[in-house]
Structure 1
Amino acid sequence: MAGLENLSERDRAVLRSIFDPTATIGDVVDEGDKFQEDESEPSTPAYKESKSLSLRGMQLAEAGKLEEALDLMNKAVEATPERAAAYNDRAQLLRLMLKDSEAMSDLERALQLTEGKRTRARALALCQRGVLLRKRGSDEDARTSFTEAAKLGSSFAKKQVVEMNPYAALCNQMLSQIMKGESEIKL
C-alpha cells in the first residue's frame, strides 16, 4: 500500500491494534507514566540509606541472589518504616520469590502510607496489588486497583483496565473481522 511509509508511529499503532484483536493502542504506543503529584522524600540520612539498600537489593535480585536481596530490602524497610517505596520494592522481590501473601502485606502497608496521596508509590502499589489479585482470580478487585492506579497516571494500569474490559476486547475482535472481510472482498 502506497503511503504507509508516511504514517506516524501512532497511526501505525492504530493499524496494528485493528488487525490484532487482542492489542490495544496502549500496547503499541507507550506514552509513559504521568503522575500529577509525586512524593518528594526527605533527604535525611535514613531515607538515603533506605534508597541505597533498595537499589543494591534490586541489583542482587537481577543477579539471581534473591535471599541476599531480601536481606537488603528488609534493612531498607527497617531504616525507614514510613517509606512506601521501600515496601513496594520488597513486595516486588517477594513476588519474584513466589511469596505472594507476604508481598500483599507489604503492598497494603504501602497503600496505608500513601492513603489520600496521588503519588508514584501509590500507583505502583496498586499495580502490584492488581497483578496479585488477578493471579488469585479476583478480577473485579484487580480492576478496581488498576483503575485507581490509571487515574494516578500509570500507563501499565491503563493497559490493564482496557485488557480487562470484555467489551473492548469484543469490539477489537469484531473490528478485526470486519477489516479482514473487507480485504477479502477487495481481492
Structure 2
Amino acid sequence: MSFKPSYYPYDSSWKIPDKDQCFRYWQEFNLPEHIREHSRLVAIIAQEICLLSKSWLNVPIEAVVASALLHDLGKLYCIEHGGYHHQLGASLVMEISGNPAIAQGVMHHVYWPGEVDVEKFFLPLVLIYSDKRVMHDRIVSLEARFEDLFARYGTNHRMKGLIQRSLDQALTIQDQLNQKTGIDLNACTFNSRRMV
C-alpha cells in the first residue's frame, strides 16, 4: 500500500511567519550557523523560482520562503538524539506556525511520496528542488549535490537506491520547472545572495 500525501489547497487565513520570525525560531531552537546558512540559500533559490513562476503560482511566495527557512529546524535535535529531522521539523513548524502547507513542505523536503506535479504541489516540490541545489553552504548543480550524497551515504545497495530515487525525483521536478518557467534552472547560479 503506497502513501498518498494530503494536499492542502492554500487557505489565505493561514498565518505565515515572516523572515524575522523565522530567524527568531532559529535562535529559539539553537540552529547552528552552518544550518542557518544552508537554509538561507535554500530560501534564496525557492524565492527566485517563485518569482519566475508568478503567473501560475498557487501559494504565497512568503509561505514558500518560510518553509525553506524552517525546513531544517529539527536537524540539530536529530543529529544529537536520532530520529528523522523532516518529521520532527514538520511537527515543530506546525506547532509554531499553525500553517499546514508550510509544515507539509518541511515534512516532504527530503522526498515527495506522491505525484510529481509542480503546479499542483508547488511548495513541497520547489522546497525539495531548492534543498537539493544547496550542498552544505554552497549552491551547486544537482549533479554535484548527488555526487556528494552518493559518496557520503551510498554505503550499501539500499542507500544507493534511495539516493538514486531522490535524484530521479529532483530531475523530474527540475524538468517540469524548466518547462513551466522556460529557463534552464540547472544553469542558474542563483548568485544574487539576497532575499527580496
TM-score, normalization by structure 1: 0.32
Which structure has the larger Rg over C-alpha atoms?
Answer: 1
Structure richer in helix, relative to its length: 1
